[in-house]
Structure 1
Amino acid sequence: MQGNEAAALYRLLTWLSPSFPVGAFSYSSGIEWAVEAGDIADAASLRGWLAAMLADGPGFCDGVFLAQTHRAASSGDDAGLGEIVELASAFAPSRERHLETSAQGRAFVEIARAAWNCAALDRLIACCGGAIVYPVAVGLVSAAHAIPLAATLHAFLHALTSNWISAGARLVPLGQTDGQRVLAQLEPIVAATAARALEASLDDLGSATFRADLASMRHETQYTRLFRS
């Protein structure tokens, strides 16, 4: 492995590790309400719920935003970058989902600047203007460090899926082995979603996971909550 490839892999493993302190463990993306409502009750129903979120909901949309951010940042399209930042922030379907993605995006950028800063990242952040949501933040930082888009996108979707499974495993609850089985079963869907997001444009954005969107709204008034979303 060449030096640049090793550095890119090291940074991706660090930034998208569960130990990178963006607070992902405190969000469930509505899964907490889905468990209480009985939509998710075991490993099979968790797998089905997450497969839909990946392929037809926030997984795909976040993948498109990351890819478009990375390309705009890498090509110096500052005007296009600003439009992507604004659209991505407006795309969250509920107040809690917006909190989830904006808080993680802010934390990701702040920690990256504190520990892995570079001149290119400072310039890109200055072009953004508004709130930087999580997939946009990952796209910005990875582009600033010249990390390849395809690897970044796949790693991001893997981290997103892993966090959803972690929330589901704690809520159902499921054992660690069941959680790993779900992650293994979702591998082809993560890969297919990443491939679609790489080929998609902003015009291809769209979600059909209405139940998951409703879950994120219902969670706002859920009586007993462990998670912030």
Structure 2
Amino acid sequence: MATETSSRALIRLMAWLSPAFPVGGFAYSGGLESAVHDGAANDPAALRQWFETLLTRGAWRNDGVLLAEGWRSVDDPERLAAVAALAEALAGSAERHLEVLTIGEAFAAAAAAWPHPALDSLGSRPPYSVAVGVVASAQAIPLESCLAAFYHALLSQGVSAAIRFGVIGQRQGVALLAELEETILIAARQTACSTLDDLGSAAIGADIASLRHETQHTRLFRS
């Protein structure tokens, strides 16, 4: 039976990582628009491989590692400043840099509705993953649960972008969420035990797509 504490944690995660939370994540595709344009992710099978790679070997996995470090740094301002600086430095393109800082700034501002002294340590423009980790830790949200919800939110945004590109329909999008459920759970469990030594990416194609998007002539998204 769920306790009031666990139910409250679930509600807060649902609020913070809901599409309705005012962070502007809908404006970014993380390079997916470029990949679709170039024919690298223009069918359900290719999209699944794209998202699975991001979750297990790409930028989303790194974001999870940084979130976990932020979660653990909630009471250590110096350690928190270091991981925030690292998260910003790891943004591999101008658009990726804009995305992680702009969404992080909006998330921290909106999360102020749940006051906590730790928010003051985030600064005015924290990286998104670090901000989520700090806010979750400050509100006693379990790390693994936070990571699972965070990964699901990233995937949901990616699926939403793919639907808007016309690559898949809504039913196919829901099917992708279902197919990658186990991947999310495994990634969350592994990342909860990670350290900064586990940072690394093998998703070169996604990184190049993010860079190529900067000069794409016609586009719907900011990244």
Q: Normalised by the size of structure 2, how large is the TM-score?
A: 0.95
On the 8 A contact 1:89/1:102 being kept in 2, the answer is: yes
Cα displacement (A) at 1:16: 0.5
Q: Give a deviation string over 1:102-146, Cα, whole Å, max 9, x none.
A: 111000000111x22223433x33xxx574111101011111111
On the 8 A contact 2:144/2:192 being kept in 1, the answer is: yes
**What is the match of residue 189 of structure 1?**
183
Q: Which runs of 4+ in 1 moved over 4 A?
A: none
Q: Give a deviation string over 1:153-186, Cα, whole Å, max 9, x none.
A: 1100100111011111211431100001111111
**What is the match of residue 20 of structure 1?**
21
The CA distance in 2 between the partners of 1:120 and 1:214, in whole Å, is 36
The CA distance in 2 between the partners of 1:121 and 1:49, in whole Å, is 34
Counterpart secondary structure, 1:199? coil
On the 8 A contact 2:102/2:125 being kept in 1, the answer is: no
Which of the numbers 117, 136, 139 marks the counterpart of 1:119? 117
The letter for the 1-side match of 2:62 is C
**What is the match of residue 138 of structure 1?**
132
After superposition, residues 42-191 of structure 1 pair within 5 angstroms as 42-73=43-74, 76-113=75-112, 115-122=113-120, 124-125=121-122, 129=123, 131-191=125-185
**What is the match of residue 41 of structure 1?**
42
Counterpart secondary structure, 1:142? helix
The CA distance in 2 between the partners of 1:3 and 1:21, in whole Å, is 26
**What is the match of residue 212 of structure 2?**
218
On the 8 A contact 2:118/2:134 being kept in 1, the answer is: no
On the 8 A contact 2:29/2:221 being kept in 1, the answer is: yes
Cα displacement (A) at 1:188: 1.5
* Residue range with higher mean Cα deviation, 4-13 or 62-71: 4-13
The structure where helix makes up a greater share of residues is: 1
Give the root-mean-square deviation of aligned CA atoms. 1.3
On the 8 A contact 1:40/1:46 being kept in 2, the answer is: yes
Return 5+ residue gaps in structure 2 as ranges: none
The CA distance in 2 between the partners of 1:21 and 1:56, in whole Å, is 28
On the 8 A contact 1:85/1:130 being kept in 2, the answer is: no
The letter for the 2-side match of 1:157 is Y
On the 8 A contact 1:106/1:134 being kept in 2, the answer is: yes
Residue identity (%): 48
Return 5+ residue gaps in structure 1 as ranges: none
On the 8 A contact 2:35/2:209 being kept in 1, the answer is: yes
Q: Normalised by the size of structure 1, how large is the TM-score?
A: 0.93
Cα displacement (A) at 1:77: 2.3
The CA distance in 1 between the partners of 2:202 and 2:124, in whole Å, is 27
